[in-house]
Amino acid sequence: MKTRVLAYCYIVGLLACQSANTDQNTVSDSITVDAVAIDRLDETLKGFIDDSLVVGASALIYEKGEEVYFNAFGYADREAGVPMSRNTIVTIYSMTKPITGVTLMTLYEKGAFRLEDSLAAYAPEFSNMQVVTSLDENGEMMLEDPERAITVADITRHTAGFSRREDFGLDVIVGEADLLNKEITLTDMAARLSEIPLGYQPGTRWEYGISVDVQAYLAEKLAGKPFAEYMRDVVLDPLGMNETSYFVPEDKRDRVAALYRKTDTSFNRIPDEEVHAINYDQWPMKPGGWGLKATIDDYMIFAEMLANEGSYQGKQILKPETVKLMATDHLPAVEDTMWLPSKGRVGFGIDFAVRTEPPKRPDEMNGIVGEFFWDGAASTLFWVDPVNELTAILFVQIFPFSREVHKKFRDAVYGPISDKSDVGG
């Protein structure tokens, strides 16, 4: 019932939504990262290397506005013998998404759009979307009109209906459309995407995907300037995030971490020209959902801004109420949330997963009710824990995505989960 109330409030306004969420946590006076936790963290990160889970790892934690932990183990570039360090530049993949969300929400604060507005009001190419319902005997798609328009809210929480579902062949169509080809623009991406039928009725399914790139396109249209330029103007430059960018100049590339693919017996380095291609030239495509590289300290600035309700060292990026809106579960009752439960007992806000219940079993993902977070394809992770006033970042560069690494790191921060039903918050 709470989720349904929040979903309704999300449409009619922030103040009603916040009043409906009656089980808000109060700030804890206790210390989470004490001497025991520091030893546990060191042991865990070193274990990642010793147990051949990753090639290199670094972690940075702030608590109550102060740095309480940093350490790094292993290699940023094993072949060159470059250790993982504080100034290592990593590929953050989907940890780009929260930065895109904050960028878009600066325009929300300016009154440029409302979350309940239809996407087509600002991007007319999405006016005549169709929804695939089945395939006929010849394998042709059977289509119907959407029951309602895609809203801006839908693209902030992955409920627009954009889909790669294989049973209808949308995976093939999306692949052939090459929506995020680095040689095209966000405008080209939107034009191509608008020609592809939706896999689900808007609002009925959480399916992670291209919605955040559509957010970037919307921000670009509303701001009247290229998305990457607007992001830098309103988020990166005001925060002093000088090491976070799409393009990495040559004089910084010796600090860029290599990416590795883990097999049962070894780590295979993924070719640099494959993983760094978008960052080593000035391409037209600046995705909203991925593409940024950053150092751990730069990303901590962003996390601390969120923890401080939108401000950092006197720079106000968002209003407190906007950060609260982004960090509130707005996921409506949908048919399926795919793999989202693997992140823990969570819902979804605006470009963040939001923890709604404590873990109930030791094998679940650890965390505190009220935290909001996201991660990246190469197994990077960050979260904001408002209860303990804690922000944490883990940087590794490993494929495939490692739930095990995240589980061990979270347990190292908070301590292992007990079998009690009241753990985690």
* Number of domains forming the structure of the chain: 2
d(CA 158, CA 167): 20
Q: What is the pLDDT of residue 16?
A: 41
Determine how many CB atoms are found less than 10 A away from the CB of residue 423.
18
Q: What is the pLDDT of residue 418?
A: 83
Of 223, 252, 283, the domain-final residue: 223
The domain that contains 38 carries what CATH number?
Answer: 3.40.710.10
Contact (Cβ atoms closer than 8 angstroms) between residue 242 and residue 299 = no
Both 185 and 300 in one domain: the answer is: no
Both 384 and 253 in one domain: the answer is: yes
Both 174 and 71 in one domain: the answer is: no
Residue 306 is assigned to a structural domain of this protein: yes
Nearest to 84 by CA among 60, 44, 57: 57
Contact (Cβ atoms closer than 8 angstroms) between residue 366 and residue 226 = no
Q: What is the pLDDT of residue 425?
A: 44
Low-confidence ranges of the chain (pLDDT < 50): 1-24, 420-425
CA atoms within 13 A on the CB side of 341: 5
E strands in 280-389: 293-294, 311-312, 315-316, 346-348, 353-355, 372-375, 381-385
Q: Which phi and psi (to 5°) does residue 212 adopt? A: -75, -30
Amino acid identity of residue 199, one-letter, is G
Nearest to 304 by CA among 56, 128, 66: 66
Both 299 and 410 in one domain: the answer is: yes
Whole-model pTM: value is 0.93
Q: Which phi and psi (to 5°) does residue 114 adopt? A: -115, 150
Both 265 and 210 in one domain: the answer is: no
Of 195, 223, 251, the domain-final residue: 223
Both 121 and 98 in one domain: the answer is: no
**Domain span at residue 37?**
2-7+30-104+228-414
Q: What is the pLDDT of residue 8?
A: 38
The DSSP result for 201-265, as a single string, is: -TTS----STHHHHHHHHHHHHHTS-HHHHHIIIIIHHHT-TT-BS---GGGGGGBPP-EEE-SS
Contact (Cβ atoms closer than 8 angstroms) between residue 78 and residue 210 = no
Q: What is the pLDDT of residue 25?
A: 56
Q: What is the pLDDT of residue 419?
A: 60
Contact (Cβ atoms closer than 8 angstroms) between residue 404 and residue 394 = no
- The number of residues making up the chain comes to 425
d(CA 353, CA 370): 10
Residue 187 is assigned to a structural domain of this protein: yes
Residue 110 is assigned to a structural domain of this protein: no
Residue 367 is assigned to a structural domain of this protein: yes
Contact (Cβ atoms closer than 8 angstroms) between residue 245 and residue 96 = no
Q: What is the pLDDT of residue 113?
A: 98
Both 307 and 343 in one domain: the answer is: yes
d(CA 191, CA 200): 19
Of 208, 223, 238, the domain-final residue: 223
Both 255 and 297 in one domain: the answer is: yes
Both 182 and 266 in one domain: the answer is: no
Amino acid identity of residue 204, one-letter, is T
d(CA 341, CA 150): 24
Determine how many CB atoms are found less than 10 A away from the CB of residue 225.
12
Residue 402 is assigned to a structural domain of this protein: yes
Pairing mode of beta strands 267-269, 260-262: antiparallel
Both 213 and 336 in one domain: the answer is: no
